[in-house]
Structures are given as C-alpha cells and as structure tokens.
Chains A and B, each alone.
Chain A
C-alpha cells in the first residue's frame, strides 16, 4: 500500500474520530451528572443539523450568501436548537424518571430518538430523502505527494478539537464546571452546598447537546449530505465510543471516539475487497472490548456500596 493512501486513511480517521468524540463527550457528560444514558442524543443532533440546514435555506432566500457568515449563523442556529432540545428532554423526560430503574431512562430516550427521527422523516419537507448540505468551507486542498489534504478537513478537525479542549477547560476552570463536577461526584452534598441542581443538570444537557450539534454540522460539511437517519448511526457510534472508553470520563469518550474511527478505517483498509464490512468489523471489536473490559477502557472508579 502506498504512502499516499495511508495518509488518506489517516486523515479520514482523524476527521471521523473528532466527530465521534464530539458526540461521545455528550453521553459521558450526561452520565456524569445523572447516571443516565440519554439515547436520543444522536437524533437530537440530527434535528439540530436540520435546523441549521433550514436556516441556511432561509439565508439563501434572503440573499445572504457570504459562506463564512452563513457558516457561523448555521452553526449557532443548530447548536442553540440542539442545546434547547437537549435541556428540554432533561427537564421533562429524564428528570421525572430519576427514581425509576435506569433502564427506563434508556428506553424512554431510545423511543424519543425514534420519535424525533420519524417526525423529521415524515414532517420535514421531503424528509425521507437526503438533503444536499452546502459546502461552506473553502474547497482548496494541498497536494502532498499523491495525497490531497482537504482544507475543510483541517479546519473541521482543528475547530472540533478546540471545542473539546474548550469543554475540558470549562469543566476544570470555571465555576459552572466546578458545579457540574460537584454534582457528578455527589449530588446530595452538592445540593447541601447550595448548588442549583436543576440549573446544573440543564446546563450540562444543553452543553453536551450543543457540542454534538457541531458534530452534526461537521458531518454535513464533510459529506455534503444530511439525512434523517444520520443521528441514529452517529448516536450509536457515540454511545459505543463513550462506553468503550468508559462512562463518566471525558478522556474515555475521546479515546473511544478515535478508537472507533480507527477501527472503521482499519476495517476498510484491511478488507479492501469488502470495505462494506467495516462497520461489522468495528462493532465486532466493540463487543470484544466489552468482553475484555466490561466497564470500558478507563473504568469508573466508584463501586456499589453495600
């Protein structure tokens, strides 16, 4: 295999890894504060991406055609919509089920994800067909000896990684981050110490969802296409990534995201005759990792009190 091809695979893997990590981070944040899995995460980000797409259509219609301006507006729109929906789900669906078995939250949000997905398919104009997402980033590329490094990939990856770094900084340096970590550690004590529990939970869900919206837009920009089912697969992969990395741990989510992307890329590189098997391969490895490390690669520390 020549170097150019390897570089191509590598670049592809890094873009995918960034995208998956952005989704996985949300799962981990939600699990951190509430010990729940909000499975609708992927479909919420799909909804946000469609919102961004709609806004773009609107911008085109009113004649605002500067791609950078469009990009910023689209991003803000989808992140705001996703964050709002994420927080609303937390408030009206996840928190009311706090006393119920954890399985119920998983199920309720699974069903909600289906409902969102189906609603977009049925009610968005021509929703069952893929939409051509605009290429808002420069389509320049640098030729590196048989391998074309796309400028948009570089911009997406850098922006995505900056976002994750910013999130990490927010968690570790700001008061809100401190409050989130306090609630994650021990909800009761945090409440006694005067932390506004509801506010922290909603903020966490809004932030986690907003970050995922970036992944959704990134997905659209990279593939120049979005569809109602994109959230299911992204959510599934993000969830797997968060779990494989180990829930409740930002680094685990990032590790899991890049690992999954790596598996897909390796899968399609090793099985060139059947690159369609790449997801089969990736999910098979996920199952194997779960057998080997039942609580993820970077396990949670807490053990059940008896």
Chain B
C-alpha cells in the first residue's frame, strides 16, 4: 500500500539504567569482597542470581544495554570511578584488595586472549605460559637495580612477544587442531623448562621485587590523614590503570579496520583473502598483541604477589584463562570482566570450593558451551562509534 518503511520511533536511551548498574555493581563488589562468612557470600551470590533473573524478565537488562550503547564513554568512565570507589572503601584491607587486583589482572589477560580467541579465532592454550613469561621477566629484572620497574612491565610484554615470535611461523602456517597442538606443546614445554632450569629457580621458583614508581615503593603503605592504608592500594590502583588502558586499546582495535580483518579471518579465511585482507598479517598481529598484553599483566602480577613458581603457570592455568574467555563470551570485553570476577572470587571467597575450583569451572564451561555458547555477556554487534549509530 505504501512504500514508507515503518520503523518504531527511536528514542535515545537515557543514561540512568547504565549509571544505576554501575553503582549497584560497585556496591555489590564491595560487599562481596569484604564478606567474610560463607553464609554472607552465599547470600550475596543468591542475590546476584535473583537480580539477574529479575533484570532479564523485567526487560531492565535490555534497557541497560541500550543505555550503554548510547552513552558508552560516559558509562565506561563511571565504571572506572566505581572501581576506584571500591578500592577506597576497602583501602585498609589487604586481602580484598589483593583479590580485586588479581581480578583486574586476569581481566586484562582475558582482553589479550579475546583478541586471539574472540576476534581472530586463533587458539592459544599457552596463556599461562605467556603470563608467566612476563612474571619471570619481572623476577629476573628485579635484580637489576637501575632498571625502572615500570619499564619492566613493558619488557614483560616484549619478552612474551619475543617468545610468541618463535611460535609465529608454525602458528600462521597451521590452522585449527594443528595450531592447537603448537600452543599446547609450547605451554607444556615452557612449564617443564622452568621446572628443570636451575637459574630460574627450578620448581621452587623465584622472588620478585616490588613495583617502584617515581621513587615510591609499592611495598610501602600510603598514609592519608593519619590513616595507614594497605600497601595493596598501590597495586589495586595500578592494576586499574593498566586494565583501563588495555580495555581502551582493545576496544579501539575491535572498532577499527584491523578488528574487522580479525573477524573476517575468523569467520572465513578464504573470503577474507579474496578481498585482499592479509590473513597472515592479521594472525600475527593478533597473536603478538594478545600475548604482549598477557606478558604485561603477568609482570605486574609477579611483582604484586612477590613470589612465583612454575606451578602457577601450568596447562590447567592456561585452561582457566580460556574458560574465562568462554564463560564471559568470545570477543566480549565486559564478559571477560565478569568471568574474571567469577573465576577469581568464587574459590577465594568460598574456601571450601578452593579445592574444587578446576572441577567447578570445567563443568561450568561445559554447560556454557552446550547451552549458552555465546557466553554470559554475549558480544554485541560492532559499533564503530557508539552513540552515533542513530545519526548515520
């Protein structure tokens, strides 16, 4: 009858649902991080499940999504403030801060793995090895007094990247299962090497000296208004900064032609090549940049926990990192944050679970792969300039 295309009137979503979510998550994060009794933790977990169900049924989830799409940069900024607020609220407590920092570093690592698994479709079953390469770099460089520790972080990334360079040739030539074997072999090789190498401390591992920045040693506790804070505040803030920086970089990567190349390579190598996209270059970029991020995160992790051993960088740990990417959702940065929180918090908070954590997460990932293959927070369709979509 008419040629006019009917489309529902598009009303730009407000920022309120987004801000409300950030505030709620920050509050929740503070609560669960400071909860001490099992019943408190279990209660909070039940609350999260109920809130999620209500959010999904009532459609609030969708309005949060819309709100986020419309005001992304503001809400990302709010999330950053939220994390800093949680750090401030916990500023005197060692253990919760250590956990939060670990979560942030695993989140950072998941961003790196996402470039590989999520965008480019390249398998990497040696995540813990590249993470460990960074940590061991930090341990070795800690003995070189004149070397600025901030540069050690960078160097951790560079070493991890240099190791990946050894693998680049087989990785780029092989696909699928054949590539999987290359990284698995490397992961096992790396851990065995650390175990038998006496210079790197053998199975006992190495001490790592702490981070120092502008003359400030991160082992020192900051004093504010006569109140002595936990020295982990230093690390928590630095981990936040690192996570934010990597988050921005990975987001921009995804929303660029390079990110599009990665998707094209993952979804159809042949077609990508027929349109001039260099499959090799794309894979090399993804493999190297992802592992560099893992190395940087690993270096800071080593400094923070101050003692590292090969047993923290095993094949099972690599699988745990892969689980993170899958649980959160392939290619979904926020999914990685959620998954990092689950993977780190659950076993730490519920000590009776500690022993069962590998079992728990492997079963969880199996269920996700079977019933929700896109992960807990599935990746959204690419939006190069969020907030500008309706403008076109």
Whether A and B touch directly in their complex, counting CB atoms under 8 A apart, is answered as yes
| Chain A positions near chain B (C-beta within 8 angstroms) | 31, 37, 93, 96-97, 100-104, 106-108, 110-112, 114-115, 117-119, 122, 232, 236, 239-240, 243-244, 247, 274, 276-277, 279-280, 283-284, 286-288, 290-291, 294-296, 304, 306
Are A122 and B356 neighbours in the complex by a CB distance under 8 Å? Answer: yes
Are A290 and B174 neighbours in the complex by a CB distance under 8 Å? Answer: yes
Flag whether B366 is at the interface (Cβ < 8 A).
yes
CB 8 Å contact bits of B70-83 with A (1 = contact, 0 = none): 00000000000000
Are A284 and B181 neighbours in the complex by a CB distance under 8 Å? Answer: no
| Chain B positions near chain A (C-beta within 8 angstroms) | 121, 123, 125, 167, 169-170, 173-178, 180-182, 184-186, 188-189, 192-193, 195-196, 270, 315-316, 319, 322-323, 326, 355-356, 358-359, 361-363, 365-366, 369-370, 373
Are B322 and A112 neighbours in the complex by a CB distance under 8 Å? Answer: no
Are A111 and B323 neighbours in the complex by a CB distance under 8 Å? Answer: yes
Are B169 and A108 neighbours in the complex by a CB distance under 8 Å? Answer: no
**How far apart sit A210 and B351, CA to CA, in the bound complex (Å)?**
38
Q: What 5 A-B pairs are tightest by C-beta distance, nearest first?
A: A291-B170, A118-B359, A276-B196, A114-B362, A111-B362
Are A106 and B188 neighbours in the complex by a CB distance under 8 Å? Answer: no
Are B358 and A296 neighbours in the complex by a CB distance under 8 Å? Answer: no
Are B189 and A283 neighbours in the complex by a CB distance under 8 Å? Answer: yes
From known contacts A103-B121, A276-B195, A277-B196, infer whether A112 and B189 are also in contact, taking CB-CB under 8 Å: no
Among candidates A101, A110, A290, residue contacting B181 with C-beta atoms closer than 8 Å: A290
Main SS of the interface on chain B? helix
| A102 proximity list for chain B (CB < 8 A) | 176-177
Q: Among A102, A111, A117, A279, which residue has the most Cβ atoms of chain B within 10 A? A: A111
Among candidates A106, A115, A274, A276, residue contacting B359 with C-beta atoms closer than 8 Å: A115
| B323 proximity list for chain A (CB < 8 A) | 111
Are A291 and B169 neighbours in the complex by a CB distance under 8 Å? Answer: yes
Q: Which residue of A lies closest to B183 (CB)?
A: A287
From known contacts A102-B176, A276-B195, A287-B186, infer whether A111 and B365 are also in contact, taking CB-CB under 8 Å: yes
| B195 proximity list for chain A (CB < 8 A) | 276
**How far apart sit A41 and B315, CA to CA, in the bound complex (Å)?**
16
Among candidates B125, B167, B362, residue contacting A115 with C-beta atoms closer than 8 Å: B362
Among candidates A108, A280, A286, A306, residue contacting B370 with C-beta atoms closer than 8 Å: A108
How many contacts A-B (CB < 8 Å)?
125
From known contacts A102-B176, A122-B359, A294-B173, infer whether A240 and B181 are also in contact, taking CB-CB under 8 Å: yes
Q: Which residue of A lies closest to B175 (CB)?
A: A294
Contacts A/B (CB < 8 Å), 14 sampled: A96-B370, A97-B370, A112-B366, A114-B319, A114-B362, A115-B366, A236-B188, A240-B184, A244-B181, A279-B188, A279-B189, A288-B170, A290-B178, A294-B170
| B326 proximity list for chain A (CB < 8 A) | 107
Whole-angstrom distance between the Cβ of B178 and the nearest chain A Cβ: 6
| A286 proximity list for chain B (CB < 8 A) | 181-182, 185
From known contacts A122-B355, A287-B167, infer whether A243 and B188 are also in contact, taking CB-CB under 8 Å: no
| A31 proximity list for chain B (CB < 8 A) | 177
**How far apart sit A106 and B183, CA to CA, in the bound complex (Å)?**
14
From known contacts A107-B369, A274-B196, A276-B195, infer whether A243 and B358 are also in contact, taking CB-CB under 8 Å: no
Are B192 and A240 neighbours in the complex by a CB distance under 8 Å? Answer: no
Q: A117-B358, A236-B184 are in contact. List 17 more A-B contacts (CB 8 A).
A: A31-B177, A37-B177, A106-B123, A107-B369, A108-B370, A112-B366, A115-B363, A232-B315, A274-B196, A279-B188, A280-B189, A283-B185, A286-B182, A287-B189, A294-B173, A294-B175, A304-B270
Q: Among B123, B167, B363, which residue has the most Cβ atoms of chain A within 10 A? A: B363
From known contacts A111-B365, A236-B184, A286-B185, infer whether A291 and B173 are also in contact, taking CB-CB under 8 Å: yes
Are B181 and A243 neighbours in the complex by a CB distance under 8 Å? Answer: yes
Among candidates B175, B181, B319, residue contacting A111 with C-beta atoms closer than 8 Å: B319
| B369 proximity list for chain A (CB < 8 A) | 97, 100, 104, 107-108, 111
Among candidates B121, B185, B366, residue contacting A108 with C-beta atoms closer than 8 Å: B366
Q: Which residue of A lies closest to B274 (CB)?
A: A306
**How far apart sit A102 and B192, CA to CA, in the bound complex (Å)?**
29
Are B173 and A37 neighbours in the complex by a CB distance under 8 Å? Answer: no
**How far apart sit A135 and B185, CA to CA, in the bound complex (Å)?**
32
Q: Which residue of B lies closest to A114 (CB)?
A: B362
Are A93 and B366 neighbours in the complex by a CB distance under 8 Å? Answer: yes
| B175 proximity list for chain A (CB < 8 A) | 294
Among candidates B121, B123, B178, B196, residue contacting A280 with C-beta atoms closer than 8 Å: B196
From known contacts A107-B365, A108-B369, A290-B181, infer whether A118 and B170 are also in contact, taking CB-CB under 8 Å: no
Whole-angstrom distance between the Cβ of A235 and the nearest chain B Cβ: 10
**How far apart sit A219 and B177, CA to CA, in the bound complex (Å)?**
26
Are A239 and B184 neighbours in the complex by a CB distance under 8 Å? Answer: yes
| A107 proximity list for chain B (CB < 8 A) | 322, 326, 365, 369
| A244 proximity list for chain B (CB < 8 A) | 181
**How far apart sit A306 and B274, CA to CA, in the bound complex (Å)?**
12
Q: Which residue of A lies closest to B357 (CB)?
A: A118
| B315 proximity list for chain A (CB < 8 A) | 232, 236
Whole-angstrom distance between the Cβ of B223 and the nearest chain A Cβ: 45
Whole-angstrom distance between the Cβ of A119 and the nearest chain B Cβ: 6
| B167 proximity list for chain A (CB < 8 A) | 287
Whole-angstrom distance between the Cβ of B290 and the nearest chain A Cβ: 16
| B365 proximity list for chain A (CB < 8 A) | 107-108, 111
Q: Among B181, B196, B358, B362, which residue has the most Cβ atoms of chain A within 10 A? A: B181
**How far apart sit A243 and B180, CA to CA, in the bound complex (Å)?**
10
**How far apart sit A83 and B373, CA to CA, in the bound complex (Å)?**
28
| B169 proximity list for chain A (CB < 8 A) | 291
Q: Which residue of B lies closest to A279 (CB)?
A: B192
Whole-angstrom distance between the Cβ of B275 and the nearest chain A Cβ: 14
From known contacts A239-B184, A280-B189, infer whether A290 and B170 are also in contact, taking CB-CB under 8 Å: yes
